[in-house]
Amino acid sequence: STQPVNLPRISYKRARFPALVSNQRNVSRKPVVCTVQSVPSIYSTTDVRISKTSEWKALEEHAKNVILKTHLRDLVTDAKRSEKLWAEFDGCILDYSRQRVIPETMKLLFALAKRAQLEEKKEAMFRGDKINVTEDRSVLHTALRAPKGTQLYIDGMNVVDEVWQILEKIRTFSERVRNGQHVGVTGRPIKNFIAIGIGGSYLGPEFLHEALRTEKVASAAAGDRVLRFLSNVDPVDVKRATDKLNPEETLAIVVSKTFTTRETSINAKTIKDWLIYHLGDSAETIKKHMVACSTNLDKVVKFGIAPENMFPFWDWVGGRYSVCSAVGALPISLQYGFDVFERFLQGAHSMDAHFRYAPLEGNLPVLLGLLGVWNMSFLNYNARAIHPYSEALLRFPAHIQQLDMESNGKHVNIFGEAVDYPVGEIDFGEPGTNGQHSFFQLLHMGQVVPCDFIGFIESQNPVCEEGEPVSNHDELMANFFAQPDALAFGKTAEEVRQEGKSEWLTPHMVFTGNRPSSCLLMPVLDAYVTGQLLALYEHRTAVQGFLWEINSFDQFGVELGKVLANKVRKQLNESRYFNKEISGFNHSTTKLLNRYLEGSVG
C-alpha cells in the first residue's frame, strides 16, 4: 500500500535584505539618451567590442590550451577544485564542479564580466534605465516583486507604488471571488478560471500553476477550484479548456500585454460567445464572467470588458518577464489565494537582491550566466537542457525555453552589428526521470549538451512504498545524483571489457563522458522557492545578454511569420468565399494552400 510518511521538516533560514531603494526622486543621475542612433549610456563607454578584448582572447586561449585538453573524469576527482566550484544562497545550492572549468577559468570569466561592465549593466536594469534600446523601454520586472515601500522613480512616478496598487486590487478582487461575494450572473459562486493568453502571457502562469498544484499550502487553498489555460488558436484547445466546465461558475481572464495578439483575440471572442450562449447576451454576463490583464485599456474596453475589470501592467514589463505582474498574480491569486502569490514574489525578490548585491564570485545567476557564455561561445555547445527532478516543474523547461530563446536568439549586437561569436542556446528539457527514458541516450552518447539538474531535498508529496528500500523521493533523487556523474565520467573501453563484454560490442558500450552539467539543490518546491527559481533563470538570461552585448529584451523575430500569416489569411478568405485564385506565393506554398482548400470544409 502507498502510505504517506511524515518525514522530518527541515527549516531553512530565509534571507532578509534591504529594500531595493535605488533612485529616489531627489537623487540626480545622468539622463539616458536613447535615439535610433544611440545605445544606452552604459554602452557608450564601450570602445572595443567584447570579442575583440584581451579578456575574450584570454578565454579562447585558455579553452584551447587547457580545458579542451582535460577530461571531467580527472577534474571532478579533485576535491579541492570541487570545493571552489560551489555556491549557496538562501537555501539554494549550486554545484558547478561538473562544468568544464577550473578556478582559473572562473577568474577569466569574472574578468570578462568586468570588462563587459556587467555590474554597471545590472545596476542600470534595476535602476530603470531604458536598456531595451530598440523599444526605448526600461526593463523592470524586478520592480514587480519589490517590497511595499520601496522607492523607484521612473518618469517621476514611483513604479513600486503603482505595482502595489494593482496587487492590492488583485488581492481584493480574488478574495471577493473566493469568498463568494463576486458571483456569476445566475448567482452561482465562481470556481473555474480560464486564463486566455499566449507566449509570455501564458507560459509563466502555467508553469507556476503546475508548480503549486501539488504543494501542500497551495493545494489546500485551491480546494475544488479549477484553473485552465487557453493559448493555442487551434479550436481543439477551446474544447480542452471548457470541457465539463459550468459557464455559470466560470470566470475568463484575458491576458494580453498588447491586446492585439490574434490567437488571444480569437480565443477571447470564442469564450465570450460561449458565455453569452449559455448565460445570455447582457452586459452583466461579461461583467461577471470576464476580466483582463493588459497594458491596453482602449482595446480592453472596446472588446467589452469593463475598465474596473482590467488589471493593468506596464510597458516596462516584457511579456516573457511578466509572470510577477497581474499576468500571473490574477489567475494564481484566484486559484490559490493572494498570500500564496505573495510568497512567490518574496522568493523572487530574495534572488533579485542577491543578484544585485552579491559579489560576482558567489552570485548564483551570474555564475549560471557565465557558464552559459563559456559553454556556448568558447566550447561551442549550442544547446542546453534543463532537467527538474520534480514533476511539478513539468512546464518550467517550456517557460525557460521562451524566456531564454526569445531573449537571446539574436544575430546583431546592441550596436546593430552582426555578432561574430555564437549566442543564444537551444533550450529544452523534461522532468527527470521521464527525460532519462526519452532523449538521454543522445545526451550520454550523442551530441554534447550541457545540462542543468534541479532537485529538491524534500518532496511536495512524500510517499514510501512498503517493502521498498528507499522512499519514492529518494528513488527520484538517486537518479538526480547519478546522472551528472554518468555524464561527467562516462565509461572507458577498459571498464567495459572488465565487465566481460565481447570485443566487437565494446565500442557500442563506451561512454565518452566529459559532458558538463550543473546541479541545483533546493529545499522543497513551495511558492517561495518557485519564485527564487524563476528569478535565478530570468537573471541568467540577462547576464548572458549583457556579456554578449545583445538586447535581450526585444523580440522582432516573431514578426515576419505574423505578417505572412496575415497574407495567407486574407487569401484563404478570398479564395473560399469569393472564388479568387491563390496568388503571389511561391510554387510550394501555392500548391499546399490549394490542396488545403480542396480538402477542407472551412
| Active site members | 406, 437, 562
One residue of 40, 200, 247, 432 binding ligand F6P per CB under 6 A: 200
Minimum CB distance to ligand F6P smaller for 151 or for 258? 258
Residue 264 is a binding residue for ligand F6P (CB under 6 A): yes
Q: Cis link prior to 258 (omega < 30° from 0)? A: no
Instruction: Work out whether strand 250-255 and strand 192-196 pair parallel, antiparallel, or are unpaired.
Output: parallel
Residue 335 is a binding residue for ligand F6P (CB under 6 A): no
Candidates 72-80, 170-178, 192-200, 501-509 — which segment interacts with ligand F6P by CB under 6 A? 192-200
Q: What are the DSSP E strand ranges found in 379-424? A: 383-388
Minimum CB distance to ligand F6P smaller for 185 or for 293? 293
Question: Cβ(375)–Cβ(516) under 8 Å?
Answer: yes
Question: Cβ(134)–Cβ(103) under 8 Å?
Answer: no
Least distance in angstroms from the C-beta of 398 to ligand F6P: 13
Buried b (16+ CB within 10 A) or exposed e, 62-80: bbeeebeeeebeebbeeee
Minimum CB distance to ligand F6P smaller for 265 or for 375? 265
- Whether the CA torsion 152, 153, 158, 162 is positive or negative: it is negative
Least distance in angstroms from the C-beta of 325 to ligand F6P: 11
Which residue has 572507458 as its cell numbers? 492
Minimum CB distance to ligand F6P smaller for 105 or for 270? 270
Instruction: Tell me 316's DSSP state.
Output: T
Least distance in angstroms from the C-beta of 253 to ligand F6P: 12
Question: Cβ(553)–Cβ(407) under 8 Å?
Answer: yes
State the Cα–Cα distance between residues 602 and 599, nearest whole angstrom: 9
Least distance in angstroms from the C-beta of 311 to ligand F6P: 13
Instruction: Work out whether strand 226-230 and strand 250-255 pair parallel, antiparallel, or are unpaired.
Output: unpaired
Q: Which residue is nearest to ligand F6P (CB)?
A: 319
Residue 132 is a binding residue for ligand F6P (CB under 6 A): no
Q: Give the SS3 label for residue 273.
A: helix
One residue of 338, 555, 571, 582 binding ligand F6P per CB under 6 A: 555
One residue of 97, 261, 309, 335 binding ligand F6P per CB under 6 A: 261
Instruction: Tell me 200's DSSP state.
Output: G
Candidates 250-258, 366-374, 383-391, 516-524 — which segment interacts with ligand F6P by CB under 6 A? 250-258
- Nearest Cα to 53, choosing from 112, 119, 109? 112
Least distance in angstroms from the C-beta of 555 to ligand F6P: 5
One residue of 201, 377, 483, 532 binding ligand F6P per CB under 6 A: 201
Residue 400 is a binding residue for ligand F6P (CB under 6 A): no
Least distance in angstroms from the C-beta of 522 to ligand F6P: 27
State the Cα–Cα distance between residues 449 and 447, nearest whole angstrom: 6
Residue 319 is a binding residue for ligand F6P (CB under 6 A): yes
One residue of 40, 199, 388, 432 binding ligand F6P per CB under 6 A: 199
Question: Cβ(305)–Cβ(277) under 8 Å?
Answer: no
One residue of 53, 134, 232, 258 binding ligand F6P per CB under 6 A: 258
Least distance in angstroms from the C-beta of 45 to ligand F6P: 30
In sequence order, what are the beta bridge partners of 429?
Answer: 386
Question: Cβ(150)–Cβ(126) under 8 Å?
Answer: no
- Nearest Cα to 279, choosing from 256, 309, 245? 245
Candidates 33-41, 209-217, 258-266, 355-363 — which segment interacts with ligand F6P by CB under 6 A? 258-266
Candidates 47-55, 63-71, 251-259, 266-274 — which segment interacts with ligand F6P by CB under 6 A? 251-259
Question: Cβ(229)–Cβ(195) under 8 Å?
Answer: yes
Binding residues for ligand F6P (CB under 6 A): 198-201, 256-258, 261, 264, 319-320, 406, 555, 558
